[in-house]
Amino acid sequence: MSLHPNQVLLAPVVSEKSYSLITDRKYTFRVHEDAHKTQIRQAVEELFDVEVQKVNVVKVQSKPKRRGFTKGRRPGWKKAIVQLKPGHEIEIFEGASV
């Protein structure tokens, strides 16, 4: 499936763990369900003008939730942890403190 780079990367993941990885040049993104590692690498390199060293992909499982008598499930999603080569950084994440 051919996806445009803007469709591959949906949003950055904002959490304490993802911000602690920034010191290791690792950035976390929520990605399209059908995107694979090569597409994620190309999208990050094209959108942020950096060089990617490694991409790890994780499927976040859906969770059961309940409110009163109503039962349901939160949807699952896919995230990518992208490690950049030395000397490269993504500016939108800089200035974020843990």
Domain ranges of the chain: 5-87
CA atoms within 13 A on the CB side of 86: 0
In this prediction the pTM is 0.86
Q: Reply yes or no on whether the pLDDT at 35 is more than 90.
A: yes
Here the tokens at position 77 are: 């999603």
Nearest one of 77, 33, 78, 26 to 55, comparing CA atoms: 26
Q: What is the pLDDT of residues 48-80, one digit of tens each?
A: 999 999 999 999 999 999 999 999 999 999 999
Contact by Cβ (8 Å): 29, 82: yes
| Percent with pLDDT over 70 in the chain | 93
- pLDDT bin (cut points 50, 70, 90) of residue 39 is very high
- pLDDT bin (cut points 50, 70, 90) of residue 3 is confident
Residue, of 3 and 68, whose pLDDT is higher? 68
CATH 3.40.50.300 fits 5-87, yes or no: no
At 50 the pLDDT is 95
Average pLDDT, whole number, for the chain? 91
